[in-house]
Amino acid sequence: MRILIAPDKFKGVLTAPAVAELIVAGLQEALPEAQIRTLPIADGGEGTADAICAGAGGEWQQSEVRDSLGQRVSASYCTIDDGETAVLEVSQACGLWRVPEQQRDPDSASSFGVGEMLLAAQAARAKRIIVGLGGSATNDGGFGMARALGFRFFDADRQELRGRTSELLRLESIVSPDGLELPGIVGAADVQTPLLGERGATRLFAEQKGATAEQLEVLERSLAHLAEVAGGEAQHIPGAGAAGGLGFGLMTFCGAPIRSGFDVVAEEIGLAAAVQEADVVITGEGRLDAQTLEGKAPAGVARLARAEGKRVFAIVGAMEDVPAVRALFDSISVISDPAEARRDTFSQTPELLRAAARRFAEKLKHPLGSDNE
């Protein structure tokens, strides 16, 4: 039996490669003769560069950039295709994980470091750049990133805007840099949100980045004014709201299309071919819910497997009962019940995951229909 293990991370607990290794360990306890291949995946969020680097045989590079608070940090990015493609994650520069909870403030947080990472990849002679959009501490619509690239923002008095996102309320004009020639860039998004509105960058995500109720209104109006001055229709395109509006920024200032992060990762690591070669596919993630259907990795894996007529299973940390999500899989194993999920079970996750994989292996020894645990 040929089994493909293609999980995403259990966010905040286990990386995708660690999840894959634990599933393999559990499977081998009951199916020692199985041919098992691991291909950790991602969907444009954190872990995208890890997945592509591992799956495509890349090399890690380092660049010194500013984080969202303006501190100098070392940011990792991956190169593949003999250095011709660079894979960046905005979270390496302006990630929420870098900011202590008491210091989180999306009005002052800047995406400047993302622009610095783009310039570092350009200086390294990359001909193509993939940008994973996820996990940012920012809500500036790419204002900081654009300034790092040489764009200048002025108010009606020709005073240059260089600070907080709320300064964009005074924005009157944007001046493009002379001679900027970036490689081809594509944004890889794990959400389909537009820039503005109830399901936009600010309304959906700014609160978890530290925004107060008063700031939400100011930030929304700031991004709306940025979009008005910049012109075009990028604000309405799905994914424009990813990473605090960095999707909009990439489209507007870099001419970059925004694509499904899962599709980008799947193409780079050859996931479709791996699915074709497998008899059974197992995926997983920390949580399945309604957002799973909006471009998340397990749904993408399931759809590829279904298209090839392969059985597909999921092992997850928690699950919202959404019939359309259940229908994607032959079976879903939730490693902790809701009561357990309310307690600190992080230390137990590896063993719970391994045990769930072992139970799956026992079932795989016999014909299996649809069965959700």
Q: Give the CATH number for residue 280.
A: 3.40.50.10350
Q: Where are the beta strands (DSSP E) in the chain?
A: 2-5, 35-38, 59-66, 72-80, 85-89, 128-133, 152-155, 171-175, 184-189, 258-260, 280-288, 311-319, 331-334
Q: Are residues 114 and 243 located together in one domain of the fold?
A: yes
Question: Are the beta carbons of 66 and 116 closer than 8 angstroms?
Answer: yes
Among residues 243, 262, 281, the one where a domain terminates is: 262
Helix (H, G, I), strand (E, B) or coil at 52: helix
Give the contacts of 64 (CB within 8 A, at least 6 positions apart). Answer: 72, 73, 74, 75
- Per-residue pLDDT, 360: 87
Say if 373 falls within a structural domain: no
Q: Are residues 53 and 165 located together in one domain of the fold?
A: yes
Q: Are residues 258 and 277 located together in one domain of the fold?
A: no
Say if 286 falls within a structural domain: yes
The residue behind tokens 């604000």 is: 235
- Per-residue pLDDT, 370: 45
Among residues 237, 262, 287, the one where a domain terminates is: 262
Residue 18 in this model has a pLDDT that exceeds 70: yes
Strands 258-260 and 184-189: parallel
Q: Are residues 133 and 235 located together in one domain of the fold?
A: yes
Q: Are residues 11 and 83 located together in one domain of the fold?
A: no
Q: Are residues 93 and 176 located together in one domain of the fold?
A: yes
What is the percent of the chain with per-residue pLDDT over 70, rounded to a whole number? Answer: 95
Q: Are residues 188 and 65 located together in one domain of the fold?
A: yes
187 phi-psi bin (left φ>0, alpha ψ -120 to 50, beta other): beta
- Per-residue pLDDT, 348: 86
Residue 150 in this model has a pLDDT that exceeds 90: yes
Say if 371 falls within a structural domain: no
Residue 168's identity, in one-letter code, is L
- Per-residue pLDDT, 337: 53
- Domain hosting 338: range is 2-39+270-364
Among residues 227, 262, 297, the one where a domain terminates is: 262
Question: Are the beta carbons of 243 and 46 closer than 8 angstroms?
Answer: no
- Per-residue pLDDT, 339: 45
Q: Considering the chain, what is the average pLDDT of its residues?
A: 93
Say if 73 falls within a structural domain: yes
- Per-residue pLDDT, 366: 67
Question: Are the beta carbons of 134 and 9 closer than 8 angstroms?
Answer: no
Q: Are residues 196 and 337 located together in one domain of the fold?
A: no
Say if 335 falls within a structural domain: yes
Q: Are residues 90 and 151 located together in one domain of the fold?
A: yes
Q: Are residues 123 and 218 located together in one domain of the fold?
A: yes
Q: Are residues 204 and 123 located together in one domain of the fold?
A: yes
Q: Are residues 104 and 160 located together in one domain of the fold?
A: yes
Residue 65: which CATH number?
3.90.1510.10
Average pLDDT over residues 5-24: 93
- Per-residue pLDDT, 372: 53
Task: Give the separation between CA 301 and CA 272, rounded to whole angstroms.
Answer: 9
Residue 342 in this model has a pLDDT that exceeds 60: no
Cα dihedral 255→205→327→37 (10° resolution): 70
Q: Quote the number of domains for the chain.
A: 2
Question: Are the beta carbons of 22 and 350 closer than 8 angstroms?
Answer: yes
Average pLDDT over residues 211-239: 96
Q: Taking the CB of residue 123, how many other CB atoms lie within 10 A of it?
A: 9
Say if 369 falls within a structural domain: no
